[in-house]
Structure 1
Amino acid sequence: MAAFLIPGSGSGPSGPRALTSDEASRLAITRFRNYEARGRSVTITVPGAAGGLTVTASLDYRGKLGYGVVHGTGRDASSDGLIEWTATAVYVHPMANAPEHAPASPPRTGWYSRPLRSSGSALDSSLTIALSLGSDRPDNAQLLSQNGAAWWGRDQVNGHPVDIMTGPSSPDRAGTAGNVRYWIGSDGTMYRTRVGVASETQPVVIDFDTRKYVPVTPVPGVTPAR
Protein backbone atom coordinates (compact mmCIF):
# COMPACT_ATOMS: atom_id res chain seq x y z
CA MET A 1 0.00 0.00 0.00
CA ALA A 2 1.09 3.58 -0.57
CA ALA A 3 1.42 5.51 2.65
CA PHE A 4 1.65 9.00 4.16
CA LEU A 5 2.87 9.86 7.64
CA ILE A 6 0.53 12.23 9.43
CA PRO A 7 0.65 13.17 13.11
CA GLY A 8 -2.32 11.55 14.80
CA SER A 9 -4.69 12.74 17.49
CA GLY A 10 -4.67 9.47 19.40
CA SER A 11 -4.66 9.30 23.18
CA GLY A 12 -2.40 7.33 25.46
CA PRO A 13 1.16 6.19 24.68
CA SER A 14 2.51 7.38 21.35
CA GLY A 15 5.01 5.88 18.95
CA PRO A 16 6.47 5.25 16.59
CA ARG A 17 7.66 1.82 17.55
CA ALA A 18 7.87 -1.57 15.88
CA LEU A 19 4.67 -3.58 15.65
CA THR A 20 4.01 -6.44 18.03
CA SER A 21 3.12 -9.75 16.41
CA ASP A 22 -0.58 -9.16 17.21
CA GLU A 23 -0.50 -5.67 15.68
CA ALA A 24 1.28 -6.93 12.58
CA SER A 25 -1.35 -9.67 12.20
CA ARG A 26 -4.19 -7.14 12.45
CA LEU A 27 -2.55 -4.80 9.93
CA ALA A 28 -2.01 -7.78 7.61
CA ILE A 29 -5.70 -8.72 7.60
CA THR A 30 -7.31 -5.26 7.65
CA ARG A 31 -7.82 -5.03 3.85
CA PHE A 32 -8.94 -8.65 3.78
CA ARG A 33 -11.58 -7.81 6.42
CA ASN A 34 -13.08 -5.31 3.96
CA TYR A 35 -13.15 -7.96 1.26
CA GLU A 36 -14.72 -10.47 3.67
CA ALA A 37 -17.45 -7.94 4.47
CA ARG A 38 -18.18 -7.67 0.71
CA GLY A 39 -18.72 -3.93 1.09
CA ARG A 40 -18.43 -0.99 3.46
CA SER A 41 -20.00 2.43 3.67
CA VAL A 42 -17.53 5.31 3.63
CA THR A 43 -17.21 9.06 3.80
CA ILE A 44 -14.24 10.27 1.76
CA THR A 45 -12.96 13.78 2.52
CA VAL A 46 -11.03 15.07 -0.49
CA PRO A 47 -8.77 18.12 0.00
CA GLY A 48 -8.58 20.99 -2.45
CA ALA A 49 -6.96 24.42 -2.50
CA ALA A 50 -10.15 25.97 -3.88
CA GLY A 51 -12.42 23.97 -1.56
CA GLY A 52 -12.78 20.29 -0.90
CA LEU A 53 -15.19 17.53 -1.81
CA THR A 54 -17.03 15.00 0.34
CA VAL A 55 -17.97 11.66 -1.21
CA THR A 56 -20.57 9.67 0.74
CA ALA A 57 -20.49 6.22 -0.79
CA SER A 58 -20.70 2.45 -0.66
CA LEU A 59 -17.73 0.35 -1.77
CA ASP A 60 -18.16 -3.14 -3.20
CA TYR A 61 -14.81 -4.78 -2.51
CA ARG A 62 -15.71 -7.94 -4.40
CA GLY A 63 -16.79 -6.10 -7.55
CA LYS A 64 -14.20 -3.30 -7.19
CA LEU A 65 -16.95 -0.73 -7.57
CA GLY A 66 -17.91 2.43 -5.69
CA TYR A 67 -21.15 4.42 -5.78
CA GLY A 68 -22.22 7.53 -3.92
CA VAL A 69 -22.86 11.25 -3.96
CA VAL A 70 -20.40 14.14 -4.16
CA HIS A 71 -20.81 17.50 -2.40
CA GLY A 72 -18.47 20.47 -2.53
CA THR A 73 -17.23 21.93 0.76
CA GLY A 74 -16.19 25.57 0.78
CA ARG A 75 -16.82 25.83 -2.95
CA ASP A 76 -19.74 26.08 -5.38
CA ALA A 77 -22.01 23.15 -6.25
CA SER A 78 -20.71 22.64 -9.80
CA SER A 79 -19.14 19.31 -8.84
CA ASP A 80 -22.18 18.01 -6.95
CA GLY A 81 -24.01 14.90 -8.08
CA LEU A 82 -23.94 11.14 -8.13
CA ILE A 83 -20.74 9.22 -8.85
CA GLU A 84 -19.85 5.63 -9.63
CA TRP A 85 -16.34 4.38 -10.30
CA THR A 86 -14.17 1.38 -11.05
CA ALA A 87 -10.39 1.00 -11.04
CA THR A 88 -10.25 2.54 -14.53
CA ALA A 89 -13.31 4.74 -15.10
CA VAL A 90 -15.47 7.38 -13.41
CA TYR A 91 -19.19 7.87 -14.13
CA VAL A 92 -20.83 11.13 -12.99
CA HIS A 93 -24.46 12.25 -12.89
CA PRO A 94 -24.53 16.03 -12.23
CA MET A 95 -27.32 17.25 -9.94
CA ALA A 96 -28.18 20.82 -8.98
CA ASN A 97 -29.58 19.68 -5.64
CA ALA A 98 -27.73 16.49 -4.83
CA PRO A 99 -29.27 14.42 -2.00
CA GLU A 100 -27.44 13.74 1.26
CA HIS A 101 -27.11 10.06 0.30
CA ALA A 102 -27.22 8.45 -3.12
CA PRO A 103 -30.45 6.60 -3.98
CA ALA A 104 -30.17 2.82 -3.64
CA SER A 105 -31.28 2.45 -7.27
CA PRO A 106 -29.18 4.82 -9.41
CA PRO A 107 -30.76 6.62 -12.38
CA ARG A 108 -30.48 4.68 -15.64
CA THR A 109 -29.78 7.77 -17.75
CA GLY A 110 -27.90 11.05 -17.46
CA TRP A 111 -24.47 9.56 -16.77
CA TYR A 112 -21.22 10.81 -18.28
CA SER A 113 -18.07 8.68 -18.26
CA ARG A 114 -14.36 9.45 -18.37
CA PRO A 115 -11.12 7.57 -17.63
CA LEU A 116 -9.98 7.60 -14.01
CA ARG A 117 -6.83 9.72 -13.85
CA SER A 118 -3.74 8.14 -12.28
CA SER A 119 -2.25 11.48 -11.18
CA GLY A 120 -3.01 15.18 -10.91
CA SER A 121 -6.53 14.79 -9.48
CA ALA A 122 -7.13 14.61 -5.73
CA LEU A 123 -10.63 13.22 -6.36
CA ASP A 124 -9.45 10.43 -8.64
CA SER A 125 -6.55 9.58 -6.32
CA SER A 126 -9.06 9.37 -3.46
CA LEU A 127 -11.36 7.06 -5.41
CA THR A 128 -8.41 4.81 -6.33
CA ILE A 129 -7.21 4.67 -2.73
CA ALA A 130 -10.69 3.83 -1.42
CA LEU A 131 -11.03 0.86 -3.78
CA SER A 132 -7.52 -0.35 -2.97
CA LEU A 133 -8.42 -0.83 0.70
CA GLY A 134 -9.87 -4.28 0.02
CA SER A 135 -7.90 -7.41 -0.87
CA ASP A 136 -8.91 -11.03 -1.50
CA ARG A 137 -6.06 -12.29 0.70
CA PRO A 138 -4.21 -11.09 3.82
CA ASP A 139 -0.86 -9.36 3.50
CA ASN A 140 2.30 -10.97 4.86
CA ALA A 141 2.55 -9.87 8.51
CA GLN A 142 6.26 -10.66 8.75
CA LEU A 143 7.10 -8.61 5.67
CA LEU A 144 5.04 -5.67 6.96
CA SER A 145 7.14 -5.57 10.11
CA GLN A 146 10.42 -6.02 8.24
CA ASN A 147 9.61 -3.21 5.78
CA GLY A 148 8.91 -0.43 8.24
CA ALA A 149 5.28 -0.74 9.39
CA ALA A 150 4.89 0.93 12.80
CA TRP A 151 2.53 1.54 15.70
CA TRP A 152 1.80 5.19 16.51
CA GLY A 153 -0.79 5.28 19.26
CA ARG A 154 -4.35 4.57 20.36
CA ASP A 155 -7.56 6.43 19.58
CA GLN A 156 -11.32 6.01 19.24
CA VAL A 157 -13.31 6.28 16.01
CA ASN A 158 -17.09 6.50 16.43
CA GLY A 159 -16.82 4.72 19.76
CA HIS A 160 -14.50 1.97 18.51
CA PRO A 161 -11.14 1.65 20.33
CA VAL A 162 -8.41 1.49 17.70
CA ASP A 163 -4.67 1.29 17.26
CA ILE A 164 -3.07 3.70 14.81
CA MET A 165 -0.55 2.05 12.50
CA THR A 166 1.37 2.94 9.38
CA GLY A 167 2.12 0.54 6.58
CA PRO A 168 5.52 0.10 4.92
CA SER A 169 6.75 2.71 2.47
CA SER A 170 5.58 2.18 -1.11
CA PRO A 171 6.53 5.28 -3.15
CA ASP A 172 5.71 3.68 -6.51
CA ARG A 173 1.91 4.13 -6.26
CA ALA A 174 0.91 6.97 -8.59
CA GLY A 175 -0.68 10.06 -7.06
CA THR A 176 0.28 9.32 -3.44
CA ALA A 177 3.19 10.23 -1.18
CA GLY A 178 4.66 8.70 1.95
CA ASN A 179 2.89 6.14 4.22
CA VAL A 180 -0.77 5.29 4.82
CA ARG A 181 -2.03 5.67 8.38
CA TYR A 182 -4.71 3.22 9.51
CA TRP A 183 -7.07 3.20 12.51
CA ILE A 184 -7.62 -0.52 13.18
CA GLY A 185 -9.85 -2.31 15.72
CA SER A 186 -8.98 -5.31 17.87
CA ASP A 187 -10.24 -7.76 15.22
CA GLY A 188 -8.46 -6.08 12.31
CA THR A 189 -11.45 -4.00 11.16
CA MET A 190 -10.45 -0.76 9.43
CA TYR A 191 -12.29 2.31 10.75
CA ARG A 192 -10.30 5.18 9.23
CA THR A 193 -7.50 5.69 6.74
CA ARG A 194 -5.53 8.83 5.98
CA VAL A 195 -3.36 9.12 2.89
CA GLY A 196 -1.40 12.00 1.42
CA VAL A 197 -1.87 12.68 -2.28
CA ALA A 198 0.86 14.22 -4.38
CA SER A 199 -1.41 16.95 -5.78
CA GLU A 200 -2.46 18.38 -2.37
CA THR A 201 -0.86 19.51 0.89
CA GLN A 202 -3.67 18.03 3.03
CA PRO A 203 -4.45 14.29 3.28
CA VAL A 204 -7.40 12.31 2.02
CA VAL A 205 -9.45 10.95 4.94
CA ILE A 206 -11.62 7.85 4.52
CA ASP A 207 -14.00 7.05 7.39
CA PHE A 208 -15.76 3.68 7.38
CA ASP A 209 -19.26 2.67 8.56
CA THR A 210 -20.54 6.24 8.51
CA ARG A 211 -23.99 4.89 7.55
CA LYS A 212 -25.58 1.56 6.65
CA TYR A 213 -23.94 -0.15 3.67
CA VAL A 214 -26.14 -0.29 0.57
CA PRO A 215 -25.15 -2.85 -2.11
CA VAL A 216 -23.80 -1.14 -5.22
CA THR A 217 -25.88 -1.40 -8.41
CA PRO A 218 -23.86 -0.93 -11.61
CA VAL A 219 -24.95 1.93 -13.85
CA PRO A 220 -25.13 1.46 -17.64
CA GLY A 221 -21.67 0.77 -19.04
CA VAL A 222 -20.21 -0.54 -15.76
CA THR A 223 -19.19 -4.17 -15.39
CA PRO A 224 -18.15 -5.22 -11.87
CA ALA A 225 -14.99 -7.28 -11.46
CA ARG A 226 -16.20 -10.71 -10.27
Structure 2
Amino acid sequence: MRTRQRFPRHRWLRPRWVVAVIVIAAVGMATFVIIGDYSEPSGPRALTSDEVNRLAITRFRNYEAGGRAVTITVPTTAGGLVITGSIDYRAKLGYGVVRGTGRDTSGDGLIQWNTTTVFVHPMANAPTEAPASPPGSAWHRRPLQTSGSSLDSSLLIALSLGSDRPDNAELLPQNGAAWVGPDQVSGHRVDVMSGPGTPAKPGTAGNVRYWIGSDGTMHRVQADVASEPRPVAIDFDTQAYVPVQPAPGVTPTR
Protein backbone atom coordinates (compact mmCIF):
# COMPACT_ATOMS: atom_id res chain seq x y z
CA MET A 1 0.00 0.00 0.00
CA ARG A 2 1.46 3.32 -1.07
CA THR A 3 1.82 5.97 1.61
CA ARG A 4 0.47 9.40 0.66
CA GLN A 5 3.31 11.90 0.74
CA ARG A 6 2.62 14.90 2.94
CA PHE A 7 3.89 18.18 1.60
CA PRO A 8 4.68 20.96 4.09
CA ARG A 9 2.27 23.84 4.21
CA HIS A 10 3.50 26.94 2.46
CA ARG A 11 4.77 29.25 5.18
CA TRP A 12 4.30 32.40 3.08
CA LEU A 13 0.50 32.29 3.39
CA ARG A 14 0.40 33.49 7.00
CA PRO A 15 3.06 36.18 6.64
CA ARG A 16 1.28 37.61 3.56
CA TRP A 17 -1.93 37.93 5.58
CA VAL A 18 -0.01 39.60 8.40
CA VAL A 19 1.64 41.99 5.95
CA ALA A 20 -1.78 42.92 4.55
CA VAL A 21 -3.06 43.71 8.04
CA ILE A 22 0.03 45.80 8.77
CA VAL A 23 -0.41 47.75 5.55
CA ILE A 24 -4.08 48.43 6.31
CA ALA A 25 -3.19 49.52 9.85
CA ALA A 26 -0.42 51.77 8.55
CA VAL A 27 -2.78 53.39 6.07
CA GLY A 28 -5.30 53.94 8.84
CA MET A 29 -2.63 55.46 11.08
CA ALA A 30 -1.43 57.73 8.29
CA THR A 31 -5.00 58.87 7.72
CA PHE A 32 -5.35 59.59 11.44
CA VAL A 33 -2.10 61.59 11.48
CA ILE A 34 -3.15 63.60 8.42
CA ILE A 35 -6.53 64.37 9.94
CA GLY A 36 -4.84 65.25 13.25
CA ASP A 37 -2.44 67.64 11.54
CA TYR A 38 -5.35 69.54 10.04
CA SER A 39 -7.64 69.49 13.07
CA GLU A 40 -6.36 72.93 14.09
CA PRO A 41 -5.92 75.31 11.16
CA SER A 42 -2.85 77.48 11.04
CA GLY A 43 -3.39 81.15 11.79
CA PRO A 44 -4.08 83.87 11.56
CA ARG A 45 -7.82 83.45 11.45
CA ALA A 46 -10.88 85.12 12.93
CA LEU A 47 -11.45 84.61 16.66
CA THR A 48 -14.18 82.28 17.84
CA SER A 49 -16.70 83.66 20.35
CA ASP A 50 -14.88 81.82 23.16
CA GLU A 51 -11.53 83.30 22.12
CA VAL A 52 -12.99 86.79 21.88
CA ASN A 53 -14.37 86.48 25.40
CA ARG A 54 -11.05 85.23 26.78
CA LEU A 55 -9.16 88.08 25.11
CA ALA A 56 -11.72 90.54 26.48
CA ILE A 57 -11.25 89.42 30.09
CA THR A 58 -7.51 88.75 30.14
CA ARG A 59 -6.53 92.21 31.44
CA PHE A 60 -9.35 92.06 33.99
CA ARG A 61 -7.94 88.74 35.22
CA ASN A 62 -4.70 90.54 36.16
CA TYR A 63 -6.62 93.24 38.01
CA GLU A 64 -8.77 90.61 39.69
CA ALA A 65 -5.63 88.81 40.91
CA GLY A 66 -4.38 92.07 42.45
CA GLY A 67 -0.84 91.62 41.17
CA ARG A 68 1.37 89.31 39.12
CA ALA A 69 5.03 88.34 39.12
CA VAL A 70 6.66 89.38 35.85
CA THR A 71 9.86 89.21 33.84
CA ILE A 72 10.12 92.01 31.28
CA THR A 73 12.69 91.61 28.51
CA VAL A 74 13.47 94.97 26.93
CA PRO A 75 15.36 95.21 23.62
CA THR A 76 18.00 97.93 23.39
CA THR A 77 20.75 98.75 20.92
CA ALA A 78 23.37 98.06 23.60
CA GLY A 79 22.22 94.53 24.40
CA GLY A 80 18.97 94.61 26.32
CA LEU A 81 17.53 94.88 29.82
CA VAL A 82 15.70 92.33 31.97
CA ILE A 83 13.40 93.42 34.79
CA THR A 84 12.38 90.77 37.31
CA GLY A 85 9.74 91.75 39.82
CA SER A 86 6.05 92.31 40.48
CA ILE A 87 3.25 94.60 39.33
CA ASP A 88 0.35 95.70 41.53
CA TYR A 89 -2.43 96.11 38.94
CA ARG A 90 -4.78 97.84 41.35
CA ALA A 91 -2.25 100.45 42.45
CA LYS A 92 -0.67 100.67 38.94
CA LEU A 93 2.77 100.25 40.51
CA GLY A 94 5.69 98.07 39.43
CA TYR A 95 8.85 97.12 41.33
CA GLY A 96 11.81 94.88 40.66
CA VAL A 97 15.45 94.41 39.73
CA VAL A 98 16.75 95.68 36.41
CA ARG A 99 19.85 94.02 34.97
CA GLY A 100 21.55 94.72 31.67
CA THR A 101 22.79 92.21 29.14
CA GLY A 102 25.67 92.72 26.74
CA ARG A 103 27.06 96.23 27.15
CA ASP A 104 23.92 97.63 28.78
CA THR A 105 24.82 97.15 32.47
CA SER A 106 25.30 100.73 33.62
CA GLY A 107 21.71 100.99 34.85
CA ASP A 108 21.68 97.87 37.01
CA GLY A 109 19.82 98.17 40.29
CA LEU A 110 16.31 98.44 41.66
CA ILE A 111 13.49 100.07 39.73
CA GLN A 112 10.00 101.20 40.68
CA TRP A 113 7.52 102.93 38.43
CA ASN A 114 3.99 104.21 38.02
CA THR A 115 2.28 105.69 34.98
CA THR A 116 4.13 109.01 35.20
CA THR A 117 7.46 108.49 37.01
CA VAL A 118 10.42 106.09 37.11
CA PHE A 119 12.42 105.66 40.33
CA VAL A 120 15.82 103.96 40.15
CA HIS A 121 18.21 102.80 42.87
CA PRO A 122 21.61 102.09 41.21
CA MET A 123 23.54 99.06 42.50
CA ALA A 124 26.94 97.84 41.35
CA ASN A 125 26.01 94.22 42.14
CA ALA A 126 22.27 94.01 41.66
CA PRO A 127 20.58 91.02 43.35
CA THR A 128 18.60 88.46 41.39
CA GLU A 129 15.44 89.43 43.30
CA ALA A 130 14.37 92.76 44.72
CA PRO A 131 14.10 93.02 48.52
CA ALA A 132 10.48 92.89 49.69
CA SER A 133 10.91 96.29 51.41
CA PRO A 134 12.52 98.91 49.13
CA PRO A 135 15.53 100.79 50.51
CA GLY A 136 14.65 103.97 52.38
CA SER A 137 17.06 106.28 50.51
CA ALA A 138 19.28 106.74 47.42
CA TRP A 139 16.36 106.70 44.97
CA HIS A 140 16.56 108.88 41.88
CA ARG A 141 13.42 109.95 40.07
CA ARG A 142 12.73 111.07 36.53
CA PRO A 143 9.64 111.51 34.37
CA LEU A 144 8.53 108.45 32.46
CA GLN A 145 8.94 109.04 28.73
CA THR A 146 5.92 108.20 26.60
CA SER A 147 7.98 107.83 23.42
CA GLY A 148 11.57 107.32 22.28
CA SER A 149 12.60 104.95 25.10
CA SER A 150 12.17 101.18 24.78
CA LEU A 151 12.56 100.84 28.56
CA ASP A 152 9.84 103.35 29.41
CA SER A 153 7.55 102.01 26.69
CA SER A 154 7.99 98.54 28.17
CA LEU A 155 7.16 99.78 31.67
CA LEU A 156 3.98 101.46 30.42
CA ILE A 157 2.92 98.42 28.42
CA ALA A 158 3.42 96.18 31.47
CA LEU A 159 1.27 98.48 33.64
CA SER A 160 -1.45 98.64 30.99
CA LEU A 161 -2.00 94.87 31.09
CA GLY A 162 -4.45 95.18 33.97
CA SER A 163 -7.91 96.76 33.86
CA ASP A 164 -10.73 97.11 36.38
CA ARG A 165 -13.26 95.93 33.78
CA PRO A 166 -13.28 93.59 30.76
CA ASP A 167 -12.60 95.03 27.32
CA ASN A 168 -15.45 95.39 24.85
CA ALA A 169 -15.67 91.98 23.19
CA GLU A 170 -17.60 93.33 20.21
CA LEU A 171 -14.89 95.84 19.31
CA LEU A 172 -11.90 93.47 19.45
CA PRO A 173 -12.50 91.75 16.09
CA GLN A 174 -13.28 95.12 14.50
CA ASN A 175 -9.89 96.40 15.69
CA GLY A 176 -8.02 93.53 14.04
CA ALA A 177 -7.79 90.92 16.81
CA ALA A 178 -7.10 87.42 15.45
CA TRP A 179 -6.09 83.90 16.47
CA VAL A 180 -2.45 83.18 15.62
CA GLY A 181 -1.92 79.61 16.81
CA PRO A 182 -1.56 77.21 19.76
CA ASP A 183 1.46 77.17 22.07
CA GLN A 184 2.67 76.19 25.54
CA VAL A 185 4.09 78.46 28.23
CA SER A 186 5.61 76.88 31.36
CA GLY A 187 3.46 73.79 30.89
CA HIS A 188 0.25 75.72 30.21
CA ARG A 189 -1.56 75.18 26.93
CA VAL A 190 -2.42 78.56 25.49
CA ASP A 191 -3.80 80.28 22.43
CA VAL A 192 -1.75 83.05 20.87
CA MET A 193 -3.95 85.97 19.85
CA SER A 194 -2.99 89.22 18.20
CA GLY A 195 -4.46 92.62 18.87
CA PRO A 196 -3.76 96.10 17.54
CA GLY A 197 -1.82 98.70 19.47
CA THR A 198 -4.20 101.05 21.26
CA PRO A 199 -3.94 104.05 23.59
CA ALA A 200 -4.25 101.52 26.42
CA LYS A 201 -0.87 100.11 25.39
CA PRO A 202 1.27 103.25 25.04
CA GLY A 203 4.37 103.01 22.91
CA THR A 204 3.23 100.02 20.90
CA ALA A 205 3.77 100.04 17.17
CA GLY A 206 0.49 98.41 16.15
CA ASN A 207 1.15 94.77 17.03
CA VAL A 208 0.52 93.07 20.37
CA ARG A 209 0.37 89.30 20.90
CA TYR A 210 -1.17 87.61 23.93
CA TRP A 211 -0.58 84.05 25.17
CA ILE A 212 -3.89 83.27 26.89
CA GLY A 213 -5.00 80.18 28.82
CA SER A 214 -8.37 78.45 28.68
CA ASP A 215 -9.70 80.56 31.58
CA GLY A 216 -8.48 83.89 30.19
CA THR A 217 -5.27 84.02 32.25
CA MET A 218 -2.49 85.98 30.58
CA HIS A 219 0.79 84.05 30.46
CA ARG A 220 2.90 86.10 28.05
CA VAL A 221 2.70 89.27 25.98
CA GLN A 222 4.90 90.50 23.15
CA ALA A 223 4.55 94.02 21.82
CA ASP A 224 6.35 95.93 19.12
CA VAL A 225 7.69 99.30 20.19
CA ALA A 226 8.32 102.17 17.83
CA SER A 227 11.90 102.67 19.00
CA GLU A 228 13.14 99.07 18.47
CA PRO A 229 13.03 96.44 15.70
CA ARG A 230 12.56 93.62 18.25
CA PRO A 231 9.47 93.23 20.47
CA VAL A 232 9.22 93.66 24.21
CA ALA A 233 8.42 90.37 25.97
CA ILE A 234 6.52 90.18 29.26
CA ASP A 235 6.28 86.78 30.96
CA PHE A 236 4.05 86.18 33.97
CA ASP A 237 4.49 83.99 37.06
CA THR A 238 8.21 83.53 36.39
CA GLN A 239 8.77 83.63 40.18
CA ALA A 240 6.65 84.03 43.30
CA TYR A 241 4.59 87.22 43.48
CA VAL A 242 5.77 89.64 46.17
CA PRO A 243 3.33 92.45 47.08
CA VAL A 244 4.67 95.81 45.94
CA GLN A 245 5.54 98.31 48.67
CA PRO A 246 6.00 101.93 47.51
CA ALA A 247 9.52 103.30 47.87
CA PRO A 248 9.90 106.64 49.68
CA GLY A 249 8.32 109.38 47.59
CA VAL A 250 6.50 106.98 45.26
CA THR A 251 2.76 107.52 44.94
CA PRO A 252 0.63 104.67 43.55
CA THR A 253 -1.72 105.69 40.73
CA ARG A 254 -5.19 104.19 40.71
Q: State TM-score, norm by structure 2.
A: 0.82
Distance in 2 between the 1:13 and 1:53 partners? 36
- Number of the residue aligned with 2:51: 23
8 Å CA contact retained: 2:156, 2:201:
no
- Contact map agreement 2:194 2:209 (CA 8 A) in 1: yes
- Superposed displacement of residue 143, structure 1: 1.1
Give me the whole-angstrom Cα distance separating, in 2, the residues matched to 1:42 and 1:196: 18
Q: Tell me by how many angstroms 1:146 deviates.
A: 2.4
Alignment partner, residue 216 of structure 1: 244
**Identity between Structure 1 and Structure 2 (%):** 73
Which segments of 5 or more consecutive residues in structure 1 lack a partner in the other structure?
A: 1-11
Of 77, 80, 84, the match for 2:112: 84
Residue of 73, 79, 87 corresponding to 1:45: 73
Q: How does 1:103-114 map to 2 (within 5 A)?
A: 103-114=131-142
Are 2:235 and 1:176 aligned? no
**Which has a greater percent of strand?**
1
- Which of 1 and 2 has higher RCO (CA within 8 Å, sep 6+)? 1
Distance 1:88 1:169 in 2: 20
1:223 and 1:202 map into 2 onto residues whose CA distance is: 32
Alpha-carbon distance change, 171 to 110 in structure 1, aligned in 2, over 3 angstroms: closer
TM-aligned CA deviation for residue 140 of structure 1: 1.0
Report how far residue 199 of structure 1 moved.
0.6
Asked if 1:196 corresponds to 2:229, the answer is no
Structure whose residues are more often helix by fraction: 2
- Contact 1:171 / 1:177 at 8 angstroms: preserved in 2? no
Amino acid aligned to 1:179? N
CA distance in 2, matches of 1:46, 1:195: 10
The AA in structure 1 aligned to 2:208 is V
Which residue pairs with 2:98 in the alignment?
70
Equivalence for 2:163? 135
Larger radius of gyration: 2
Q: Secondary structure at the match of 1:108?
A: coil
Give the 3 Å change call, closer, same or farther, for CA 186–172 of structure 1 in structure 2: closer
The equivalent residue for 1:7 is none
| Equivalent pair of 1:84/1:91 in contact (CA under 8 Å) | yes
Give, as a single letter, the amino acid of the residue that structure 2 aligns with 1:97.
Answer: N
Give 1:8's aligned residue: none
Residue 173 (structure 1) shift? 5.8
Q: Residue 17 of structure 1: SS of its match in structure 2?
A: coil
Q: How many aligned residue pairs are there?
A: 215
Structure 2 runs not aligned, ≥5 long: 1-39
Conserved in 1, the CA contact under 8 Å of 2:73 and 2:234? yes
How much is the aligned-residue C-alpha RMSD, in angstroms? 1.4
Alignment of 1:87-106 (within 5 A): 87-106=115-134
Counterparts in 2 of 1:148 and 1:223: CA distance versus 1, 3 Å:
same
Distance 1:38 1:171, change over 3 A: closer
Query: More deviation in 181-190 or 141-150?
Result: 141-150
Residue pair 1:77, 1:96 contacting (<8 A) in 2 also: no
Larger displacement relative to structure 2 (104-113 or 174-183): 174-183
What SS class does the counterpart of residue 141 from structure 1 fall into? coil
The 1:40/1:171 distance shift into structure 2, 3 A limit, reads: closer
